[in-house]
Amino acid sequence: MASNFMLTLDASPYYNSKAVAMRISQNMKKVASAPKNVDDLKTYDDYEFLYRKAAEETKEEMKKANISWQNDEDQFLAGFSAIAIKLCNMGLSEEEAFIHIRRNNWGHVTEEKLRQIVGTAYDTHSKDRKTEKSVSGRKGRAEILQMIRYLESRYQFRYNTVMKYTEYRPNNSWVGDFRPVDARVQKSMTLDVQIADIHVSIKDVRNFLESDRIRNYSPIESYLYDCLGKWDGKDRIRALARTVPTNNPHWEDWFYTWFLGMVDQWRGMYRRQYGNSTMPLLISKQGYNKSTFCRRLIPTELSWGFTDNMILSEKRQVLQAMSQFLLINLDEFNQISPQVQQGFLKNLLQLPTVKIKPPYGSHVQEFPRLASFIATSNMTDILSDPSGNRRFLGVELTGPIDVSGRLNYEQLYAQAMQALEHGEKSYFDAKETAIIMQHNRQFEQISPIKQCFLQVFEPASTPENGEYLMAAAIFDILKQKFGSSLQVSSIQKLGRELQNIEGLKNRRTRFGTEYLVVRK
């Protein structure tokens, strides 16, 4: 049915002898290539209508010419050539004309022959081609222009500013998604250009495909700004947070602020002074849909931007991922060592940009950071840096996350864009940070040296009921109780731990820092 039509079965078909003929002008404006997010099938049908009009006119003209053809093939070739000329005059691109002629190839002419016929028709009747052929100068210049014209007539190109490569799709309305122009595709395009008798090398083709003649395209900006102004007023971000069962009374508002920070990170590019420096940390036993929840935060159109396969020890890979992915899930967060938590990860979370040397690059370049972080864990005592726990939004689940409902991503991100456009903050202020740090103490790892201290001492409220001691003095007392299990190297660790014990007062003296403690 897609390529045929049905005739009536009535014994006496109705014929309207007074039907009024409609004349359609051929002086049409050039039909633009189908833009993204339009119904390609509808556009294809419009072009198919123009093809059928050209075919009917050609059929009538050939009938009136009353030419005696030597064979059917000559008649088919002449007919296709005439149709191609008409489609060229109507403004269809060469590739669009070829697609429709090939689909209606009732003469079963080979594809190579059809391309030759259509190409010749466009070479002789396209105003752009005539201008191109009149270009003076070296032969190489004209052939480069012919190559560009040929490739742009066959394909649509765009440069993906996130993934840092050129993408292509056929330049017709019967299309699929854009795909990367990899080495194999470049070689195929080069062969097609050379078969078309354009004498250029693969280097010439590559130079064009990797040049700034290719328009820039950001899939993130395209998606977000398609959502802008469409919010219906319903709070879907906090509703999404409520699918996570928890006793944490702050979770909904924390998630809301973090979600705005994630979206602002995507759209901020180089304008941000700081990165989205907080990350939700979902804590529960296995089977509570934590990883599924993380994955569902990213819409299908941007699913390439999610990853949960990141090894923090491979620093260059992590930095590159932060400029290309949108959300990184640190699954099994409890497996990250304290050294990485307190060093590399802490630095990552606050970066507004990343500086890396691209593959095959000659120097280090700065790229906008896109990625925000989220994490999951099956253990509760996982935060090893008390001073850095403000960067985590710890939430302990009381049951499995509900992932059964379908998310309205357009409204979800439309709400975020609306909030950001109206100046809502996407970060946590000092008061909120203090609440976060207090809440996260329940998830801190207690080091052995701190455990020893808490068995012997506790913070004193006043000098009258306690005494000021330096870390070395406290260490000597602990060593008397615990013996050789405490090494001298632990003194420095003890000093860092004492700085982060809640309620422990200290003072600076000319000998060092003293802490107000009382023995239990």
Closest CA to 216 of 166, 182, 152: 166
For residue 459, the domain's CATH number is: 1.10.10
What is the mean pLDDT of the segment spanning 182-186?
95
Closest CA to 445 of 488, 500, 490, 391: 500
Residue 27 within a domain: no
Q: Are residues 155 and 278 in the same domain?
A: no
CB 380 within 8 A of CB 283: yes
CB proximity list for 442: less than 8 A, separation 6 or greater? 380, 394
* pLDDT value for 131: 53
Residue 31 within a domain: no
CB 407 within 8 A of CB 296: yes
Query: What pLDDT digit, counting tens, does each position of 112-166 carry?
Result: 788 888 888 887 777 665 555 544 444 577 889 889 988 988 899 999 998 889 9
Residue 280 and residue 98: Cα distance in Å, rounded? 53
Two structure tokens written together for 300: 């299908």
Query: What pLDDT digit, counting tens, does each position of 47-96 carry?
Result: 788 888 888 888 888 877 777 777 777 777 888 888 888 888 887 778 78
217, 252, 283 — which closes off a domain?
217
Domain that holds residue 421: 237-443
Q: Are residues 313 and 439 in the same domain?
A: yes
Q: Report how far apart, in Å, the C-alpha atoms of 470 and of each of 45, 463, 465, 479, 518 are.
A: 84, 14, 17, 14, 13
What is the mean pLDDT of the segment spanning 376-405?
87
Across the beta sheet with 179-180, the strand order is 179-180, 165-170, 155-160, 216-217
CB 180 within 8 A of CB 304: no
Residue 154 and residue 321: Cα distance in Å, rounded? 33
What is the mean pLDDT of the segment spanning 507-514?
85
Residue 35 and residue 52: Cα distance in Å, rounded? 23
Q: Average the pLDDT over each of 36-50, 203-217, 263-277, 459-473 and give the range with the smallest value.
A: 36-50
3-class secondary-structure state, position 282: strand
Length of the chain as a residue count: 520
User: How would you classify the pairing of strands 512-519 and 457-459?
Assistant: antiparallel
Residue 263 and residue 276: Cα distance in Å, rounded? 9
Residue 340 and residue 369: Cα distance in Å, rounded? 20
Q: Which long-range contacts (CB under 8 A, 24 or more apart) does 114-118 make?
A: 114/80, 117/77, 117/80, 117/81, 117/84, 118/80, 118/84, 118/94
Residue 158 and residue 165: Cα distance in Å, rounded? 9
Residue 269 and residue 325: Cα distance in Å, rounded? 13
pLDDT at residue 309 is higher than 90: no
Residue 225 within a domain: no
The b-or-e profile of 254-264 (16+ CB within 10 A means b, else e) is bbbbbbbbbbb
Q: Are residues 377 and 327 in the same domain?
A: yes
Cα 75 to the chain's mean position, in Å? 51
pLDDT at residue 367 is higher than 90: no
Q: What percent of the chain has pLDDT over 90?
A: 35
Q: Are residues 420 and 463 in the same domain?
A: no
Residue 134 burial by CB count (10 A; 0-12/13-18/19+): exposed, middle or buried?
A: exposed
* pLDDT value for 395: 95
User: Which pLDDT band, with edges at 50, 70 and 90, does 26 fall under?
Assistant: very low
410, 443, 476 — which closes off a domain?
443
Residue 247 within a domain: yes
Q: Are residues 49 and 63 in the same domain?
A: yes
User: Which pLDDT band, with edges at 50, 70 and 90, does 374 fall under?
Assistant: very high
What is the mean pLDDT of the segment spanning 317-336?
89
Residue 271 and residue 20: Cα distance in Å, rounded? 62
The b-or-e profile of 285-299 (16+ CB within 10 A means b, else e) is eeebbbbebbbbbbb
Q: Report how far apart, in Å, the C-alpha atoms of 243 and of each of 85, 246, 266, 482 are.
A: 61, 9, 24, 48
Q: Average the pLDDT over each of 70-84, 248-262, 479-493 and give the range with the smallest value.
A: 479-493
Q: Which residue has the higher pLDDT, 110 or 484?
A: 110
Which contiguous run of DSSP H or E holds residue 178? none
pLDDT at residue 462 is higher than 80: yes
Rounded to the nearest 10 degrees, what angle do helices 111-125 and 94-103 cross at?
140
CB proximity list for 492: less than 8 A, separation 6 or greater? none
* pLDDT value for 97: 82
Q: Are residues 328 and 406 in the same domain?
A: yes
420, 443, 466 — which closes off a domain?
443
* pLDDT value for 270: 44
pLDDT at residue 244 is higher than 80: yes
Q: Are residues 83 and 113 in the same domain?
A: yes
Q: Are residues 209 and 196 in the same domain?
A: yes
Residue 230 within a domain: no
* pLDDT value for 337: 78
Q: Give the distance between the most distant pair of CA atoms in the chain.
A: 121
Residue 152 and residue 211: Cα distance in Å, rounded? 14
Residue 222 and residue 417: Cα distance in Å, rounded? 13
How many other β-carbons are positioned within 10 Å of the β-carbon of residue 184?
8
Give me the chain's average pLDDT, please: 82
Residue 87 within a domain: yes
pLDDT at residue 469 is higher than 70: yes
User: Which pLDDT band, with edges at 50, 70 and 90, does 490 fall under?
Assistant: low
Q: Are residues 262 and 199 in the same domain?
A: no
Q: Are residues 157 and 283 in the same domain?
A: no
Task: Please tell me the pTM assigned to this model.
Answer: 0.69
pLDDT at residue 188 is higher than 70: yes
Q: Which residue has the higher pLDDT, 36 or 436?
A: 436
pLDDT at residue 2 is higher than 50: no
End-to-end CA, the chain: 89
Query: What pLDDT digit, counting tens, does each position of 412-443 carry?
Result: 999 999 999 999 999 999 999 999 998 998 88
Residue 13 within a domain: no
User: Which pLDDT band, with edges at 50, 70 and 90, does 30 fall under?
Assistant: very low
* pLDDT value for 14: 53
Q: Among all chains, which residue has been given the structure tokens 């699954």?
A: 331
What is the mean pLDDT of the segment spanning 305-314?
87
Residue 198 and residue 59: Cα distance in Å, rounded? 33
Residue 228 within a domain: no
Q: Are residues 418 and 486 in the same domain?
A: no
What is the mean pLDDT of the segment spanning 387-404?
90
Q: In total, how many domains does the chain have?
A: 4
Residue 467 burial by CB count (10 A; 0-12/13-18/19+): exposed, middle or buried?
A: middle
Q: Are residues 146 and 204 in the same domain?
A: yes
pLDDT at residue 326 is higher than 90: yes
